[in-house]
Amino acid sequence: MVAINYFIHRLTGGPLWAVLYLLPVILYSDLHATPFQLALFFALKPSVSFLSFYWGTKVHRRADRLRGNLIWGNTLRYLPFLASPWVENAWFYLAAFALYMTLWRGMVPAWMEILKRHLPAGQRERVFSRGSTADYISVALVPVAAGFLMDDIAGSWRWVFFATALLGLSSTFLLLKLPVEPVQRGERISLTKSLQNAWELVERSPAFRRYQIAFMWGGAGLMVIQPAIPPFLLSTLHLSYTEIAVAIAFCKSLGYAIASPLWSRIMGRIDLFRLCGAVTCLCVIFPLMLIPAQSPSWVYCAYFVYGVMQAGSEMSWNLSGPVFAQQGDSSLYTNVNILAVGIRGLIFPFLGAFLLAWSGPIPILILGAGCCWMASRLLFLPVRQSNL
């Protein structure tokens, strides 16, 4: 039942997530967003992880809250989009997107702990892989179909948001059937205490600390290049919007869907650090493939590689908590991962935008590749199994 619930949760949530790929275009063309609002949109996805951290801390050592955390999170993240047919305001959609991203990441600790409690190692990876593959098939197909509809019928994006949000909300009824864990009474943990617990966890676990440092380098590399990619694709390579959509939506998702089952098998056979090292090697390759690109086909190949990388990155990032926790509570480990994303999101996209004004896109792409290379070096250092 847990495996089926997780798969359907990802399957029904995928279409809205896919349509949100088009939100920057909608903000610019239909809602006449200002440059500041567009910049804020790109910063929201990683930076709201601080709020996700707070939502996720509610389940730490409180297994009885796992189901409720998912039910409320799944309900609240879709509700604003049900008002889409009647609301035409850029700030509203920025707020709705921020709430969606907060709860999307904030639900991860509860889901990973439920999978850990009810599925054995090995099966967890397969279930996660199938769910995330269903997600990315939606990302590959839904934006293309929605794009045709939006081209033919002006303003139809409002009803696309409404329909996909309603579909995602429907999975809440299945979440009610998740197992109810025994009530656990304990001290109420404040946000300050949660941050202290996170810091103490990183201090006392050398392996987890190295993992976080390596992911900080790798995440920095990927985030710093994001502001440079649109001008590089549009102004340097002169690609059309259709060609960019095929690369970012279809080719990346195709790589993800193909690679996800392979990563799930690999994760059960090699240690986490070597797997993450392979992932960050692909992070190095992606910007280096973009730099010499002279045709759309080469960009498509680069984004296919990005999709393969992202499949391994998301699997290792989401399931690293149960790996490090072993038989203990994994939620704090996962929350530290989320907190680290927020820290990176407040620094590196803005750093990339600042440097872009002085250097142009190509040096930023090289800088991103260098950061990811540093992450690979850290991850491929010899690992003491006792630290895991």
Q: Summarize pLDDT for 11-32 with one digit per residue, the tens.
A: 777 788 878 877 877 776 678 7
Task: Answer yes or no: are the C-beta atoms of 44 and 101 closer than 8 Å.
Answer: yes
- Confidence band of 388 (pLDDT split at 50, 70, 90): very low
Residue 336 confidence (pLDDT)? 84
Alpha carbon distance 290, 302 (integer Å): 6
Average pLDDT, the chain: 80
Other Cβ atoms less than 10 A from the Cβ of 4: the count is 11
Instruction: Confirm if 123 and 258 have CB atoms less than 8 A apart.
Output: no
Q: Categorize the per-residue pLDDT at 59 as very low, low, confident or very high, splitting at 50, 70 and 90.
A: low
Q: How many CB atoms lie within 10 A of CB 190?
A: 10
What does the alpha-carbon distance between residue 173 and residue 171 come to, in Å, rounded to a whole number? Answer: 5
CB 116 within 8 A of CB 7: no
- The confidence score (pLDDT) of residue 184 equals 57
- Cα–Cα dist 200/202, whole Å: 5
Q: Which of the listed ranges 1-10, 66-75, 261-270, 366-375 does the model predict with the highest average pLDDT?
A: 366-375
Cα–Cα nearest to 22, from 133, 137, 139: 139
Split into its structural domains, the chain has a count of: 1
Is 66 strand, coil or helix? helix
Cα dihedral angle (357, 363, 368, 374), rounded to 10 degrees? -130
Q: Which two structure tokens, joined as six digits, stand for 47?
A: 């930076």
Range of the domain at 275: 2-387
Residue with the bigger pLDDT between 136 and 324: it is 324
CATH number at residue 15: 1.20.1250.20
Instruction: Give pLDDT, residue 58.
Output: 60
The per-residue pLDDT for range 173-209, each reduced to its tens digit, is 878 777 666 655 555 556 677 677 778 888 888 888 9
User: Quick one: which of 300, 286, 219 has its CA closest to 252?
Assistant: 300
CA atoms of 363 and 352, how far apart (whole Å): 10
